[in-house]
Amino acid sequence: MFYVIGLGLSDEKDITVKGLEAIKGCERVYLESYTSILMVSKERLEAFYEKEVIIATREMVELEADEILRDSDKIDVAFLVVGDPLGATTHTDLLLRARSLSIPTSVIHNASILTALGSTGLQMYNFGQTLSLVFYTETWRPDSWFERLEENLRIGVHTLVLLDIKVREQSEENMARGRLIYEPPRYMNPHQAFSQILLTESLRHPKDPSSSSSSSNNGDVDVDVEVKESLLPPASTLAISLSRIGTPTQKLISGTLEELAQLSEEEFGEPLHSVVIVGKKLHPLEFEYAGRFAVGGEAGGWWKVGKEVYGVERETF
């Protein structure tokens, strides 16, 4: 049997009883290490499971899937995933490969950020498309995600934005030279995420319309380009940062995009992080619950913008 097992969000004890029982009976146990991370070391997992854990890098999963699946039709093999096992398409691909080889499979689910984001007080059925935000560089700023964000904003739903992590990444120079030298791990902080979001918003909807106009091949500015009003004005858009969700040091901060962008990296703390852009169909109970984490407390922009821009009245209890 080939097991794909979710580990939850925090530490070795987040695994389900069913998942732990499956691991105990496996001859090989792999830990996928690149779509997310647990807050504990591999050694902690090995001590708790009483099994050796093999780190499965992106290269191994994508290029050596046959080795992971080897003999799974005769013995039990486990593939461990932080969060829920089917939160990434790579793992679906592994299951399809196994079934094409007539290997029996079993998926054991667990909590993920997609369910734990309920800790913000926002209701899951009020969320739209989930987005991923990658690290920008001086020469590479992919912004196709912004269109999906605007689609969500137009219909008033919330948007979960998953922040980039870089594990076993090579520099362009080392990649070009074929050197297997990897950069230190990097995890995007909400400070950088909000900065990138506001940068993209300013480029898509500049205050000076001429700066967004397209240019012809000879450099002349096309003054006929239509500039649409921003759906993401920083001072009147609500957002929430989510840090280390599901762990004892979990931290949430709510406020306007402008307020959150002004916070330092240290105020958000250690990884992992996600952010939520709040849609206009904000329910009073959502408004009240998430307001507990507001920058500036009762005097923060969360309450003013929620009432004046989102049109939400506070609940009384």
Binding-site annotation, residues: 9, 84, 87, 112-113, 163
Q: Quick one: which of 82, 252, 283 has its CA closest to 167?
A: 82
Furthest-apart CA pair in the chain: how many Å? Answer: 69
Beta strand pairing call for 28-32 and 251-256: unpaired
What's the CA dihedral at 243, 247, 248, 254 to 10 degrees?
30
Rounded distance between C-alpha atoms, residue 216 and residue 114, angstroms? 44
Q: Which of these, 76, 111, 102, 101, lies nearest to 4 by C-alpha position?
A: 76
Task: Tell me whether residue 276 is exposed, middle or buried, using C-beta atoms within 10 angstroms of its C-beta: 0 to 12, 13 to 18, 19 or more.
Answer: buried
> Quick one: which of 291, 284, 241, 280 has its CA closest to 157?
280
User: What is the side-by-side order of every strand in the sheet holding 54-56?
Assistant: 54-56, 28-32, 77-81, 2-6, 105-108
Report residue 315 as tokens: 């609940």
Token pair for residue 279? Answer: 């849609």
Binding residues for S-adenosyl-L-methionine: 9, 84, 87, 112-113, 163
Which residues are paired to 149 by β-bridges?
A: none
Query: Which one-letter amino acid corresponds to residue 24?
Result: K
CB 158, CB 152: distance < 8 Å: yes
Question: Is beta strand 251-256 parallel, antiparallel or unpaired with respect to 131-133?
Answer: unpaired
Q: Cβ neighbours of residue 236 under 8 Å, at least 6 residues apart?
A: 256, 305, 309
Query: Which residues, in sequence order, are bridge partners of residue 6?
Result: 81
